[in-house]
């Protein structure tokens, strides 16, 4: 009876895993086939990877778009982690009534839909002639209530004795944060890094609006452009889709363990 029950569990998990992986496998296989084979239902990897890559590179400036996306996402993630972690730390370690009130006000920003701030932000950045610059890409999303909350929660589990001891040793408040808090909270930083980088890389609506020049095109914009038109080369398209998903995929696989641990810390609260 018990064996049978576990069999059901395994069967269910296998089916769900299969459904989860199949579209990704299909994308990878398709990027190595030509359009005819893909539409014919070929599932095995083919021999057209190099042809697809050559075609993709001749049609689109992939190097530039990929470089742009990487550059914007890295800057955004680093700034975001710095600004939000020190704020979360500040809110928790030096907390008092006024700071707690401010925190609950900032949390309200979670309810602000991006569509509502889209037009004023568009006007702001074009007014400052900052359209198509990295500043326009990163500034609206550097500080997020979610990240501040994540770091505030993790600072809660940070032992105050360590801070007291460091103060007696004569360390400045900033030095305590940089040399003690940051290294101790590696897994929180890894979780925050994963989420932030993924969001930064995936960002589509805002770049579509504000990154107007060809030279500032991002990878998701490029891939979206590939998919419209009358004669779509599916092999080339799927290769573009694959390249667009590589950085976030690799980052997740590297940080997977720390990501789970960081989320555990945050949920525990």
Binders of another protein among residues 106 to 145 (CB under 8 A) are 106, 109-124, 139-145
- CA 8, CA 2: separation in Å to the nearest integer? 10
50 or 228, CB closer to another protein? 228
The least distance separating another protein from the CB of residue 254, rounded to whole angstroms, comes to 11
Q: Which stretch binds another protein (CB under 8 A): 23-31, 46-54, 56-64, 128-136?
A: 23-31
Tell which one of 72, 137, 189, 234 touches another protein (CB under 8 A).
Answer: 234
44 or 111, CB closer to another protein? 111
State which H helix or E strand residue 125 sits in. helix 114-127
40 or 183, CB closer to another protein? 40
Tell which one of 136, 150, 166, 238 touches another protein (CB under 8 A).
Answer: 238
| 150-169 positions binding another protein, by CB under 8 A | none
Tell which one of 7, 11, 21, 186 touches another protein (CB under 8 A).
Answer: 21
Does 19 participate in binding another protein (rule CB under 8 A)? yes
Token pair recorded at residue 92: 């928790």
What's the gap between Cα 131 and its chain centre? 22
Q: Which stretch binds another protein (CB under 8 A): 44-52, 54-62, 182-190, 226-234?
A: 226-234
Report the SS3 class of residue 17: helix
Does 180 participate in binding another protein (rule CB under 8 A)? no
Locus of tokens 């001891």: 165
Q: Which stretch binds another protein (CB under 8 A): 44-52, 59-67, 182-190, 199-207?
A: 199-207
Question: Sign of the CA dihedral 82, 267, 196, 257?
Answer: positive
C-alpha distances out from residue 28 to 37, 64, 237, Å: 14, 22, 11
Token pair recorded at residue 186: 């590696």
| 56-95 positions binding another protein, by CB under 8 A | 83-84, 86-87, 89-91, 93-95
DSSP letter string, 133-201: SHHHHHGGGSS-HHHHHHHHHHHHTS-HHHHHHHHHTT--HHHHIIIIIHHHTHHHHHHHHHHHHHHHH
Among 242, 227, 240, 234, CA closest to 36? 234
The least distance separating another protein from the CB of residue 159, rounded to whole angstroms, comes to 17
User: Could you give the string, one character per residue 202-221, with x where binding to another protein holds by CB under 8 A and - elsewhere?
Assistant: x-xx--xx---------xx-
Does 198 participate in binding another protein (rule CB under 8 A)? yes
Q: Which stretch binds another protein (CB under 8 A): 38-46, 47-55, 59-67, 182-190?
A: 38-46
Q: Is the Cβ–Cβ distance between 162 and 113 less than 8 Å? A: no
68 or 145, CB closer to another protein? 145
The least distance separating another protein from the CB of residue 50, rounded to whole angstroms, comes to 21
What's the gap between Cα 96 and its chain centre? 32
94 or 230, CB closer to another protein? 94
Q: Is the Cβ–Cβ distance between 186 and 258 less than 8 Å? A: yes
């Amino acid at each position: 009876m018990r064996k049978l029950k576990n069999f059901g569990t395994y069967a269910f998990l296998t089916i769900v895993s299969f459904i989860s992986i199949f579209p990704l496998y299909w994308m990878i296989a398709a990027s190595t086939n030509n359009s005819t084979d893909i539409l014919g239902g070929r599932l095995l990897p083919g021999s057209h990877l190099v042809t697809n890559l050559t075609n993709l590179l001749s049609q689109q400036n992939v190097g530039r778009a990929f470089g742009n996306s990487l550059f914007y996402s890295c800057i955004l993630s680093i700034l975001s982690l710095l600004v939000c972690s020190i704020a979360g730390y500040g809110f928790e370690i030096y907390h008092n009534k006024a700071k707690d009130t401010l925190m609950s006000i900032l949390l309200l920003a979670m309810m602000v839909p991006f569509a509502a701030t889209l037009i004023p932000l568009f006007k702001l950045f074009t007014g400052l002639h900052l359209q198509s610059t990295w500043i326009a890409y990163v500034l609206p999303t550097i500080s997020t209530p979610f990240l501040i909350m994540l770091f505030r929660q993790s600072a809660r589990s940070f032992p105050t004795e360590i801070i007291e001891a460091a103060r007696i040793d004569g360390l400045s408040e900033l030095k305590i944060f940089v040399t003690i808090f940051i290294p101790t909270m590696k897994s929180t930083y890894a979780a925050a890094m994963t989420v932030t980088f993924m969001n930064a890389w995936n960002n589509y609506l805002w770049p579509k609006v504000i990154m107007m020049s060809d030279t500032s095109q991002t990878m998701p914009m490029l891939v979206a452009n590939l998919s419209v038109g009358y004669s779509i080369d599916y092999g080339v398209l799927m290769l573009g889709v694959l390249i667009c998903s590589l950085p976030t995929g690799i980052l997740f696989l590297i940080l997977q363990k720390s990501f789970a641990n960081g989320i555990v810390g945050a949920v525990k609260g």
